[in-house]
Amino acid sequence: MPEMTYAAAVRSAMEWEMAKDPRVFIMGEDIGVYGGAFGVTMGMVDRFGKTRVRDTPIAEEGIVGAGIGAALVGMRPIVELQFSDFIMNAMDQVVNQAAKIHFMFGGRMSVSLVLRGPAGAGTGAAAQHSQSLEAWFHHVPGLKVVMPAFPDDARGLLLAAIRDPNPVLFYEHKLLYKVKGDVTESDAAQPLGQGMIRRYGRHATVVTYSLMVHRVLDAALQLAKNGWDVEVIDLRSLVPMDIPLIVDSVKRTGRLAICHEAVGRGGIGGEIAARILESEAFDFLEAPLLRITGLNTPVPYSPPLEAAFMPSVDRIAQSLETWLTREVVQS
């Protein structure tokens, strides 16, 4: 298992599938010689040529529309959005076309399309280049949404996304691109919809994904010094979502907290909370739920304000400790 960065793991998955399957190709803005805004596709044009690593104009609606058309005639396109925020320029293509064509044609058509994009804040890219919009697409039937936190998951889940017959949004957090980890270089894909317990604990279940997995794990280490033992679940994919894993964990711990970088209002945390309240885990809850999220504001450009917007390790640890101290004493 070689060690590689998250960005290299994403590139490894694309190169693997392109070498194996001539239907797979990638297109996007500046992905050829330049290697993409974050260097993820660096060197791919030299290996596969300009036909399969296609630089495009700055026109997201056209790029995504071309990807949908290619998928409909049997290709397996990967569309890179230079920043995931730019998907807003292609909302009609994503929501009204990619997500619905399979159903509107009675299952006879398939849109095997992967939309990749760097998401999240923390790089000083300001309000229009730093958003976490995954809840929008979680709401749309027909789309799958994947947000891996570790290099090995990034590779394995991207293999699964490319092979999936459905449109998949694959969000890569900008602050994860340089994170290193052991990566399995094989043909085995990781199935979509399976979360993972990253840390076992007894006092509470904390559900999270993407960059926040790392911060919650660091916060859990801080809490452990004060005697608190929390279980950390990495969802890995939001659609499909591994609700049974959360239910089983909450039945053991009796408490549920949810952490994500996206703003709290209308976020994934509310959906997870509702699903647990509708499940058998409800009878095992010993305390009200807790959400730790980004603030309800556009992402600021100012570095101190941007840092305040995002859930930090300290804010996560303090929120969890305050909540646990209050609720454990009461129960």
| Catalytic center residues | 60, 129
The neighbouring-strand residues paired with 199 are 232
Answer yes or no: are the C-beta atoms of 33 and 65 closer than 8 Å: no
The neighbouring-strand residues paired with 180 are 5
The neighbouring-strand residues paired with 259 are 292
Output b/e per residue, 303-322; b: 16+ Cβ within 10 A.
eeebeebbbebebbbebbbe
For 165, what's the count of Cα atoms within 13 Å in the CB-facing half-sphere? 8
Sheet holding 168-173, edge to edge: 53-55, 24-28, 76-80, 114-119, 168-173, 144-146, 237-239
Cα gap 14→320, rounded to integer Å: 38
Measured in whole angstroms, the distance separating CA 113 from the mean position of its chain's CA atoms is 16
Answer yes or no: are the C-beta atoms of 120 and 159 closer than 8 Å: no
